[in-house]
Structure 1
Amino acid sequence: MDVIELIRYIDGLVWGLPAIMILVGTGVAIAILGGFFQVRYLGKAFKNLLYKGTGGKGEVKPFALFAAVMGATVGVGNIAGVSTAVHLGGAGALFWMWVCAILGMGTKAVEATLAAWSRRITPDGRVEGGTPYYIRLVPVIGPALAVVFSVFTFIAAYGIGNTVQANNVALGVEYIAKGYGWDPGLARLVAGVLMFVFTALVVLGGIRRIADVSNYLVPFMAFWYIAASLIIWVKYAGNFPLAIKEIFTYAFTPQAAAGGLAGWMVYSAIRYGFARGLFSNEAGLGSAPNAYAYMTVDHPGRVGLYGVFEVFMDTIVICTMTGIVDVVTRVYIERPDLDGAALAMEAFYRAYGGWAPPILGIALALFAYTTLLTWEWYGEVNWLYFWSKTLGLPEKPLMWIWRVMWVIPIIPAAVSAGLFKAFWDFADTMNGLMAIPNLIAVAYFAPVGIGLIKDFLKSGKV
């Protein structure tokens, strides 16, 4: 068994039925304990985006940091990941992705709240916080779980946050190159070099610079992709009722495939709906709290509302754009040979013809680039927690070592077209592993997080 086969074997174990049950169980428990606050107060979560940080403490302005988190959450998973779920799980996978999102809105809210609750503000105004800081507060096993989480996370960062993103930026550029008759291999190399340079320029400035860049890029890229997808919805409006019927029907019954293919089982719809939904919105992973801890806020419960809206926008809105496009254009049935971003590109080709490469290529590149930026920070927080907070090594040199290490894989990942599947499998595996210690802490502290959110909602501050 080679390394790639081993990764795929572990991926199958990590994303088996037990993992799905743990994720669902945690989400259901939070939803029940919180009275489905993530749905009832969605309007307030939207209104909360107007908060300017008045009376709060932290290092980064609220909307700028929210944009940075959205930049990490809205990545290639929203295009390639959703299309992979539809390819492997059929139309029914979209239903389970929505279930994952509704539950994930509550889970992410609790995670974000705990990040603000457990952080420490130093006398000079600096923040010490992140996911391992609330995990370590779990009695007896907390410190050990925090160390395990930090190791899994800075390794996982090279999957979901680095190689997958760089590979898919290059894929988007390759689509553009093919559309104009350019050399795709050279285009990938150029994309890798440019990513290397622009990522280095941003991440060397830390979370403030990452947030400042995301503040401008994220709203633009979201509008770009939503508008482009809605045009396809309108163009194929005649297929829309069939698409909705298939999504709900095949979430609970097997779906036959055209051309003598094997078809899709319900278990596949559930498994890939949840796996790709989690890859996209990251609820339960413990990734976003590493940034939310640095938000300037006046109440920990306020941060939870940002978590609610983050997952809503990522999965209910943006992932749905891709999923409906794949189904209404019928490419998921008529082109079973295509997977991931290639499947989405075929759908866009049917709607836009020769304009498809730049339209989808720009979306892929922006989604992946912003994820590269913020996941650098997620990895850095946990890298420093392990080496500095746990082992006592000097923080500043380790910080620079991490930032240099972060940009090194970008060019190799960009030019490695043949490792597309391996990068995804590695990312899936590490996501599942880092979720385990985080979910233990989230489950333990759920009453604390929910209580803080309720207290904030009662305060009338939003």
Structure 2
Amino acid sequence: MLGMITNINNAVNGVVWGTAGIVLLLLAGIVMTAVNRGFQFAHFSYWIKKTIGAIFRDKHITAHTSRDSRAISQFQSLCTAMAATIGTGNIVGVATAIILGGPGAIFWMWVMALFGMMTNYSENVLGIYFRRKGASGEWRGGAMYYLKDGLGSYRGCRTLGTVLAVMFSAFCLLASFGIGNMSQVNSIAGNMESAFSVPPFATGIALVIVASIVILGGLKRVATVAEKLVPFMAILYIIGAFAVIFAHIGTIPAVMSSIFRGAFAAKAAGGGVVGYGIQKAITWGFKRGAFSNEAGLGSSVMVHSSSNVKEPVQQGMWGIFEVFADTIIVCTLTALAVLSSGTVDLQTGAMVSQNAGAGLVGEAFGTVFGAAGGKFIAVAILLFAFSTTLGWSHYGATAWQYLFGEKTSVIYKIAFVVMIFFGCTMSLSLAWDLSDTFNGLMMIPNLVGVLSLSPLVARITKNYVDREIRGKDEKPMLSAFDEQK
């Protein structure tokens, strides 16, 4: 029976994350970039100013909502989304891409991110536009809502929109226990045992206690923790990565040459046929880029939709920044640290190190920090993976509430917390594969919704650009809920 499940899973996973799935994901990014007239490029300085730049000069970005309000601030929504996005993929995923796809995989990871910015942007625009308030007063948004109310509003598509919304919610719910929970905490437990000799059951107990306090407190508590944890862990890791890069600063020109040469060059990671080498670089670059920033999967929109913002484009710009920070900054720093440290032959792209995953990154950090390098990475994985678990707890809760109602959400939260302990103490090779599959299956209904509603996203974007950038006097296109009010 287990073998049959594995074979079915491998077949589905091959379709979802094979060439067809990757092409669909890239195509969606290209389409959304085209219909929005290259917003992420044409208005680069504007969205930087309105996102990370506004944190330091606009108190409304970071101001907490009132105690009786169930909405969260724009900055809290970003941090909660990035808590789920910045995870083990930024460390282990990047190392895997380099091992299997060579340095050239990093170039294709960048390409996926540049177009993925607009997929994530579009998800957030639709999330704000079609969100609704739940019985508790908390905003509810996500692919399930723009599938049912957006796609479902087209003639003859009501049933299709409803079915796809249920499918997305079911896949999200299952993925939350896998990629968002058990696989993350299993990585934490393994690294804590190898780096600090902490038994997995002890790690499990500690994580269950902390997670119970945070997750059972609801979205506002998750968001409050995320806005403190995410900047701290990101800055800590960035400082460590920069220390490694600056220690090997003389190799950076060769590193960059290796990345661009490997993206189109004659050899694969360990030598081989020209076409095969390029194919491996593209495939693993795209895969790791997609897994790292989750653009196109419809996940982070569920927390972005809980923001107190009214302008869909405003939250859309935070979606662009999310992908930019996750992949262009954090993943790139990991790649530069690994490639500059001597673990890879920069001329051939062949691996010099025998380590893999977190061990490879730990070895790179060890060239500067010595034995503490592996411990540094273990702590980074602890923070990154646990923050991912907190973010995904909200995604799963949103899917549960859509399927079963808000009153029963405590059942999901308790089950989610309990599974953390089992995730720390179990062997999870099959769970990793299954979670990858369900995570990828979320992509299909989500992209159907995003692509079918691309004309609406284009109109909302044009309306905002005309008003806020070009100074035209037009009525704003706010969320459907606000317009009805």
Structure 1 length as normaliser, TM-score? 0.90
What is the match of residue 84 of structure 1? 96
Task: Give yes or no for the alignment of 1:144 onto 2:163.
Answer: yes
The letter of the residue matching 1:339 is: A
The letter of the residue matching 2:373 is: A
Task: Give yes or no for the alignment of 1:358 onto 2:368.
Answer: no
Q: In the TM superposition, what whole-angstrom CA distance separates every residue of 1:68-99 from its partner, at most 9, and x where no partner exists?
A: 11111111111111111111111111111101
Task: Give yes or no for the alignment of 1:455 onto 2:463.
Answer: yes
The letter of the residue matching 2:460 is: L
Cα offset, 1:161, TM superposition = 0.8
CA distance in 2: counterparts of 1:91 and 1:387, whole angstroms = 46
Which secondary structure does the structure 1 equivalent of 2:355 belong to?
coil
The letter of the residue matching 2:21 is: A
Task: Give yes or no for the alignment of 1:300 onto 2:312.
Answer: yes
Alignment equivalent of 2:282, drawn from 262, 266, 270? 270
What is the match of residue 409 of structure 2? 399
Alignment equivalent of 2:423, drawn from 413, 423, 427? 413
Alignment equivalent of 2:172, drawn from 153, 159, 176? 153
Q: In the TM superposition, what whole-angstrom CA distance separates every residue of 1:16-56 from its partner, at most 9, and x where no partner exists?
A: 111111111111111111121112323322322335169x9
CA distance in 2: counterparts of 1:5 and 1:123, whole angstroms = 42
Alignment of 1:131-280 (within 5 A): 131-136=143-148, 137-138=150-151, 139=154, 140=157, 141-177=160-196, 183=197, 186=199, 188-257=200-269, 265-280=277-292
What is the match of residue 446 of structure 2? 438
Q: In the TM superposition, what whole-angstrom CA distance separates every residue of 1:80-139 from its partner, at most 9, and x where no partner exists?
A: 111111111111111111011001100000000100000124697432322200011213
What is the match of residue 27 of structure 2? 25
Q: Which moved more, 1:331-340 or 1:211-220?
A: 331-340
- Percent sequence identity is 35
Task: Give yes or no for the alignment of 1:74 onto 2:93.
Answer: no
What is the match of residue 47 of structure 1? 49
CA distance in 1: counterparts of 2:363 and 2:450, whole angstroms = 40
Cα offset, 1:9, TM superposition = 3.7
Cα offset, 1:336, TM superposition = 5.6
CA distance in 2: counterparts of 1:40 and 1:267, whole angstroms = 30
What is the match of residue 310 of structure 1? 322
Contact 1:275 1:428 (8 Å CA) reproduced: no
What is the match of residue 478 of structure 2? none
Contact 1:58 1:121 (8 Å CA) reproduced: no
Contact 1:108 1:311 (8 Å CA) reproduced: yes
Task: Give yes or no for the alignment of 1:382 onto 2:384.
Answer: no
CA distance in 2: counterparts of 1:218 and 1:38, whole angstroms = 24
Alignment equivalent of 1:14, drawn from 8, 16, 21? 16
Q: CA RMSD in A?
A: 2.4
The letter of the residue matching 2:165 is: A
What is the match of residue 38 of structure 2? 36
What is the match of residue 391 of structure 1? none
Please list every run of 5 or more consecutive structure 2 residues that lacks an aligned counterpart in the other structure.
345-349, 472-485
What is the match of residue 347 of structure 2? none
Q: In the TM superposition, what whole-angstrom CA distance separates every residue of 1:257-298 from its partner, at most 9, and x where no partner exists?
A: 56x899972222212111111111000000011111110013
What is the match of residue 392 of structure 1? none
Cα offset, 1:245, TM superposition = 1.1
Q: Give the paired residue count.
A: 445
Runs (4+) of structure 1 exceeding 6 A deviation are 260-264
Aligned CA distance change for structure 1 residues 257 and 63 (closer, same or farther; 3 Å) = closer
CA distance in 2: counterparts of 1:124 and 1:91, whole angstroms = 49
Contact 2:363 2:374 (8 Å CA) reproduced: no
The letter of the residue matching 2:433 is: D
Q: Which moved more, 1:203-212 or 1:11-20?
A: 11-20
CA distance in 1: counterparts of 2:267 and 2:14, whole angstroms = 22
Q: Which moved more, 1:1-10 or 1:362-371?
A: 1-10
Please list every run of 5 or more consecutive structure 1 residues that lacks an aligned counterpart in the other structure.
178-182, 389-394
Cα offset, 1:348, TM superposition = 1.5
Structure 2 length as normaliser, TM-score? 0.86
The letter of the residue matching 1:170 is: A
Cα offset, 1:321, TM superposition = 1.0
Contact 2:100 2:280 (8 Å CA) reproduced: yes
Cα offset, 1:236, TM superposition = 1.4
Contact 2:103 2:269 (8 Å CA) reproduced: no
